[in-house]
């Protein structure tokens, strides 16, 4: 915890400082959600195809999902979500003519969540 997944349109890869985003995001999660650095885990998944409405070109999507152990207030989650989007703005350059659709969500991990390390 937190489990962070970043899905993004593959054409954004060149202008997306993923490592810088992850490190800055970890700082934000530690500050706002009282997480520990060693618990922050971020995965990036590029998607090849993006469709928005009836358009198959000219759009790019980034969606950030943060899964946290239960216990944060709705206010803390909203504050974290806004901070995620602001951090994304600083680490992503979008080509001219591309409409960016950026979203973020903070959710509670299911009570069945377990982990192990080796």
- Per DSSP, the residues of 63-113 read EEEEEE-S---HHHHHHHHHHHHHHHHHHB---TT-EEEEEEEEEEPPTT-
Question: Is residue 117 very low, low, confident or very high in pLDDT (cuts 50, 70, 90)?
Answer: confident
All structural domains of the chain with their residue ranges: 3-108
> What tokens appear for 20 in the block?
């810088």
Domain 3-108 part of CATH 3.30.450.40: no
Are 1 and 35 contacting, i.e. CB atoms less than 8 angstroms apart?
Answer: yes
Q: What is the pLDDT of residues 88-107, one digit of tens each?
A: 999 999 999 999 999 999 99
Residue 1: pLDDT over 80: no
HSE, CB side, 13 Å, CA atoms: give it for residue 64.
26
Are 106 and 80 contacting, i.e. CB atoms less than 8 angstroms apart?
Answer: yes
pTM: 0.93
């Amino acid at each position: 915890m937190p489990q962070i997944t970043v899905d993004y349109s593959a054409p954004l890869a060149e202008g997306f400082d993923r490592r810088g985003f992850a490190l800055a995001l970890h700082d934000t999660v530690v500050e706002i959600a009282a997480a520990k650095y060693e618990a922050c885990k971020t995965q990036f998944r590029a998607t090849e195809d993006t469709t928005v409405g009836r358009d198959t070109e000219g759009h790019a999507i980034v969606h950030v999902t943060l899964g946290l152990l239960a216990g944060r207030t709705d206010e803390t989650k909203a504050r974290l979500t806004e901070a995620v989007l602001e951090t994304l703005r600083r680490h992503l350059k979008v080509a001219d003519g591309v409409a960016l659709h950026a979203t973020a969500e903070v959710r509670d991990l299911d009570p069945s969540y377990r982990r192990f390390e080796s």
